[in-house]
Amino acid sequence: MKWLFFAIKNVLRNGRRSLLTVLLTAVGSAAILIGGGFALFTYEALREASVRDTGHLIVAHHDFFTNDEELPMQHGLGGHAEVAARLAAIPRVRAVLPRLQLSGLITNGDKSAVFVGTGIDAGGEFAVRGALFTVTEGSTLSTEPSVGGMPEIMLGKDLARQLRVRPGGSLTLLATTTEGALNAQDVVVKGVFSAGTPEIDKRAVLMHLGTAQKLILTDKVSTLAVYLRETADTEPMRGVVATELPSYARQTWRDQATFYVGVRGLYDRIFGLLGAVLVAMVLFAVSNTLGMAVVERTREIGTLRALGAFPADVVRNFVLEGAVVGAAGAGFGMALALGVSLGVDFVGVSMPPPPGRSVGYPLHVEVSPPLYVMTAIVVVGASVIAAWLVSRRAAAKSIVEALIHV
């Protein structure tokens, strides 16, 4: 403890030089934390968006994910209500939502376009979809399908623009039935939405599950989307579902989140490289400062050795000084990163739309205690290594040579 106190005094002795090193270390630490915090926020946002779209687990017919269908719903899930009930009975499950995927043509009488539709349980679906599902006109589908009236649909904003239709307008859906025939269904537009991705907004149609089943003449669904209370439970629950329903195929949200996996792989490399460069910067800054201190204090090292200090004692003293500089730098860096993170939230900085998307998003830098602890450990560790590298040769120098050093 006393040696640590002496190390602090020695660091303070060269105040300006130590301050410069601490500032460099702080800037490096803050850059790691801000970059890492932004990456974490991006991962979390993309993960939650993926989960909202697909559910944590997707349960389907055992051939659904592996074999292409020759006819619509060939690999559909029959008796889905019973399967959904068994899944919903598992304690960690929040909701089980049936989905039917179909495609066909949508027309206003004058103009037709290809649509990619999803039949949904409107009541549950809009409860689990969050801020990323934006209704731009009209409203969401009614919780229960209307009896007697025309079936409702919602469509992507670019598709609505293409068909020159607004809420209240009517359209006709054309699709191939499970028997290979064509079927048509008149529908009324209840609302227009934006998923934030032009490719989706140009093709997407949402309708009640019953409407979709009636259109393609089936009582099956494509998949059951299982929503859990905690995303962290996904992998354990995959095992549970496999045990409960061994004859069904299942995937996790990650299996379907190709964009998330791609972005994460890219960011891990970018921010990993950035972090390595910043740690190297810290290493060089502390090496430089302590290297100068070691040369200037060669006689002091000789004196300590003459008084009976082992070379390891001398190295320990410099390592403690490195740790003090690293800890101070990491501390200031954490404060700086925290300030920037809170400041960004307070000011409300908006990011431009990422590639492939049509809307920007509010910038947020995640304050992650594990990331802060890890960064502090790495920065202090780098400082300690730097101190060890520069002091071990001086500590092993001949005492007489060290004492006559000028």
Partner 1 sequence: MSAAAQSAAAPVVEIVGVTKSYQLGRTRVAALRGVTLSVRAGEFVGLTGPSGSGKSTLLHICGLIDRPDAGSYRLDGRDTDGLSARELSLLRRERIGFVFQSFNLMPALSVYENVEVPLLLGGVGPSGRAPRIHEALERVGIGSLARRRPDELSGGQRQRVALARALVKLPTVIVADEPTANLDGETATQVIDLMRGLGRTLGTTVVVATHDVRLTSHCDRVVALTDGVTR
User: CB of 29 within 8 A of CB of 376?
Assistant: yes
- Window contacting partner 1 (CB under 8 A); options: 80-88, 203-211, 243-251, 294-302: 294-302
How many residues in the shown chain lie near partner 1 by CB under 8 A? Answer: 23
User: CB of 141 within 8 A of CB of 208?
Assistant: yes
Supply the minimum distance, in Å, between the C-beta of residue 9 and partner 1. Answer: 4
Spell 167-180 as b/e; 16+ CB within 10 A means b.
beeebebebbbbee
Supply the minimum distance, in Å, between the C-beta of residue 10 and partner 1. Answer: 5
Site string for partner 1, 92-111 (x = CB under 8 A): --------------------
Rounded to whole angstroms, the Cα distance separating 69 from 87 reads 25
Site string for partner 1, 364-403 (x = CB under 8 A): ----------------------------------xxx--x
Candidate list 307, 346, 355, 369; residue touching partner 1; CB under 8 A:
307
User: CB of 76 within 8 A of CB of 221?
Assistant: yes
Q: Give yes or no for residue 310 binding partner 1 (CB under 8 A).
A: yes
CB count within 10 Å of CB 37 equals: 22
Supply the minimum distance, in Å, between the C-beta of residue 405 and partner 1. Answer: 11
Q: Give yes or no for residue 306 binding partner 1 (CB under 8 A).
A: yes
Q: Give yes or no for residue 292 binding partner 1 (CB under 8 A).
A: no
Residue carrying structure tokens 């929503």: 227
Q: Give yes or no for residue 280 binding partner 1 (CB under 8 A).
A: no
Show contacts of 268-277: CB within 8 Å, 24+ apart.
268/39, 271/35, 271/36, 271/39, 274/31, 274/32, 274/35, 275/32, 275/35, 275/36, 275/378
Candidate list 116, 309, 338, 374; residue touching partner 1; CB under 8 A:
309
Candidate list 111, 166, 299, 393; residue touching partner 1; CB under 8 A:
299
Spell 88-125 as b/e; 16+ CB within 10 A means b.
eeeeebebbbbbbebebebbbeeebbebbbbbbbbebb
Supply the minimum distance, in Å, between the C-beta of residue 389 and partner 1. Answer: 21
Query: Which residues of this chain interact with partner 1, rule CB under 8 A?
Result: 2-3, 6, 9-10, 12-13, 299-300, 302-310, 313, 398-400, 403
